Structure formats: C-alpha cells, structure tokens
Amino acid sequence: MRHDGSPYPERVSRLRAGISENDALLVLHEKNIRYLTGFTGSDGALLVGRDWLTLLVDGRYATQARGEAVGTEIFEFHSRVDGIAAVAGQRGAGAIGFEAPSLTVADHLALQEKLPGVVFYPLADGLQSLRAVKNEAEIALIREAARIAGEALAAIRGMIRPGVREAEIALELEYRMRRGGAERAAFETIVAAGANAALPHARPGRRAISAGDCVIVDYGAVWGGYHSDETCTHIVGPASERQREVYRLVREAHDRAIGAIRAGVTCGAIDGIARTFIEEAGLGAHFSHGTGHGVGLDVHEAPRLAAGREEILQAGMVVTVEPGVYLPGDWGIRIEDTVLVGEGGCEILTPTSKELTVL
C-alpha cells in the first residue's frame, strides 16, 4: 500500500487505462515521471505495465529515488537504454508505447536493436493531457508560486524608471523571488523596454529604460515544482495617447477572454474572443502568438489556447490568458494572468492588478 493521501496510484491507473496485458508504456518526460512517481531527478525512465511499475535511475539518483518514489520499484542503470531493455525483457513486454516528442531517434534505434522482438509504437497524444487537470494540492502550489512572484515584483517595481537597465531589473526580480522562497525563476525573466517590448521573446539586456517606454515584465516563480506565469506592462511616463489606447484594448481583450473561461468551452473559443476583439480594432496582425497555455510542472503544458484548438476546458485546469500587441521597432503591450478553470467561471491566481500603471 502507498502512503495515505498519495496522489500517485490514481495517476498511474489513469495512465494504465486501456493498455493490454503484454504492453508497457515508456515514460521519459521528466515532469511526467515526477507526476506519476514523485521522483524529482532529471535523468530517469519509467516503465509502466498493467500490474507493475519500475522507475529506472542512474547511480547518482538511486538514494534520492528510493526516498521520493516510495512504493515504486527502483532499477539502477549504468546506461539508460540498457536499463530499459533489461527491465522490459525481464517483464516480457511484447509492445512498448512511448512519448514520441520525448524519445530521441538515437535512443529509439538503440532500443529497437536491443529488443528486436518488441514492437515500439508512439502514444497518440504523447501523454500531453495527463497533467492538465490539477488537484487541490497542485493548485495550492501554483497559488503560492504566484504569491511569491507577485510580492517580489511589488518590491522591485521602484526600479522601473529611466536609466535602469533591463538586465538589472530582471536580476533583482529573480533574486527577490528566490529570497522569498522560490526554488527558482519559472523561466528566464523577460524585462523588455522600448523597442524590445515589441519582441514577444526579448531577453533582458543592457538597454536602459527611457521616458515614454513601455516596459514588459513577464515572470514567474517555482514552488514545490509548480510554476506561475504573469505579465505586467508598465508605461514609464509620459504615456502617449496611443499607448493608453492600445493598453485599454489589450486589457479589454484579456478581460473578455477571462470572462468567458469556464468548464465546457473550447480552448479555440477563448483564443477567438481575445483575437477577434484585437482584430476588430485593426491590430490583428500585431497579435502574433496564441492567447494562452496550461501551467503546472512545466511552465508551458497542455492545453494550448490558440486558434482552432478543440480541447475542452475542464474544472481544475490552470491556464494563462496573455493577449499582446507588438508594434515592431516601436513598443509593445502584453497583459497576462494565470487562472484556475471552474464550473461556472474562473479564478485569477496571479496577484498583480492589471490597471494601467504609469510610473
């Protein structure tokens, strides 16, 4: 028996649904392994049979795996491929389903060579939806990550003023998040000022803030392995009328999308609400990315809120809503919250007000 309250047996049985007696599933994605066993190391493999479960780790992680993946059989390997072949052979697996986006061609070739009688087949959705609906404990971790991050932003907001460099602000924000308890930043913090704010994936650099800049801060923290993700766009005064107008537009697109989120709606419909609103203002060409994505053990995970996506939102999913408008060479505005999907609406987990802030 597992420890009382362990979430892992239920997760493994969801994964097992539909696999037949001689099949095994090979799980390689680090976060999926963590989700299914509790093991937090970065180099392992998990084999899942209908009535057996083996976590494979190398010698560096054996002690850690025994402590974290309580009740799971641990197999220690020197070479990962050799280990997988040994366990699959010993269990008599006739077919092995794998996550095609996580298995490299090199490992695939080596496994086929070592297990010539075994049929390898890619799993339909690569387990991507496995982690999409969060339980209470997961939601509490994301909420805490968002709180730590928001407090850090509030503490360093005074740095967003003319003459301060993007990279200095990013560094202080990450430092404050970690001093506040974060395991690490959820991703390389984006602080993008002026024309850099027109690049959705700008890296903070030596550019100093000037009066009149939009300053996009896209940041998050990790707590207990779970991520937060939030974007605040500040305007360092004086703000132009056009900046105020586009800010109001993006804010309204963001608010409308969030207002529509509830269980039963498709992801594509939410994207459409934000996108149509921006398109009708004539700025559709400047909203060059999807409206949002799931957040959890990965900062980007299922589902994706983008045009045409048919996945249906379910209560317990945690997703971002982050419309943006980017005017190349000039400036950009993005506004992002992370929200928890409920039956009749959603709850915003990220703590910072999205009112226009002119600093």
**Any contact of residue 38 with a second copy (CB under 8 A)?**
no
Phi first, then psi, for residue 217 (nearest 5°) are: -120, 110
Closest contact distance (angstroms) between CB of 110 and a second copy is: 9
Mutual angle of helices 136-156 and 166-179, in 10-degree steps: 130
Return the residue of 86, 155, 171, 265 that touches a second copy, per CB under 8 A. 171
Q: Binding a second copy by CB under 8 A: which of 89, 122, 237, 259?
A: 122
Binding residue for a second copy, selected from 157, 251, 256, 289, defined by CB under 8 A: 289
**Main-chain phi, psi angles of 91, to 5 degrees:** -85, -5
Stretch that binds a second copy, among 195-203, 222-230, 235-243, 348-356 (CB under 8 A): 195-203
Positions in 314-353 near a second copy (CB under 8 A): 328
In the complex with a second copy, the residue whose CB is nearer, 198 or 258, is 198
Region binding a second copy by CB under 8 A among candidate stretches 101-109, 221-229, 291-299, 310-318:
101-109
Q: Tell me whether residue 144 or residue 318 sits nearer to a second copy (CB atom).
A: 144
Judged on CB neighbours under 10 Å (0-12, 13-18, 19+), 312 is middle
Sole binder of a second copy in the list 67, 71, 92, 101 (CB under 8 A): 101
Q: Crossing angle of helices 30-37/8-16, nearest 10°?
A: 120
Binding of a second copy by 200 (CB under 8 A): yes
Q: Nearest distance from residue 42's CB to a second copy, in Å?
A: 8
Going by the DSSP 8-state scheme, the letter that residue 61 receives in this structure is: G
* H or E element, residue 340: strand 337-341
CB neighbours of 76 closer than 8 A, spacing ≥ 6? Answer: 56, 57, 58, 59, 62, 83
Going by C-beta distance under 8 Å and a sequence separation of 6 or more, which residues neighbour residue 196?
166, 202, 205, 207
Contact call for residue 67 and a second copy (CB under 8 A): no
Contact between 66 and a second copy per CB under 8 A: no
In whole angstroms, the minimum distance from the beta carbon of 176 to a second copy comes to 10
| DSSP per residue, 292-304 | EEE-SSSSSEEEE
Q: Is 108 in the site for a second copy (CB under 8 A)?
A: yes
Q: How far is the CB of 104 from a second copy (least distance, A)?
A: 5
Q: Is-contact 278 323, C-beta < 8 A?
A: yes
Considering beta carbons, is residue 182 or 253 the nearer one to a second copy?
182
- Residue 13 Cβ vs a second copy, minimum distance, rounded to whole Å: 26
Does residue 155 interact with a second copy by CB under 8 A? no
To a second copy, the closest distance from the beta carbon of 101 in angstroms equals 4
* CB crowding 164-177: b at 16 or more within 10 Å, else e: bbbbbbbebbbebb
Among 113, 137, 175, 280, binds a second copy (CB under 8 A): 175
The answer to whether 356 and 248 have CB atoms below 8 angstroms apart is yes
Residue 211 touching a second copy (CB under 8 A): no
Span 216-275, contacts to a second copy by CB under 8 A: none
The radius of gyration of the chain's CA atoms, rounded to the nearest angstrom, is: 23
Kindly report the backbone phi and psi dihedral angles of residue 54, in degrees, each rounded to the nearest multiple of 5, phi listed first.
-130, 125
Contacts with a second copy, residue ranges (CB under 8 A): 41, 59-61, 63-64, 98, 100-109, 122, 126, 171, 175, 178-179, 184, 188, 199-201, 288-289, 328
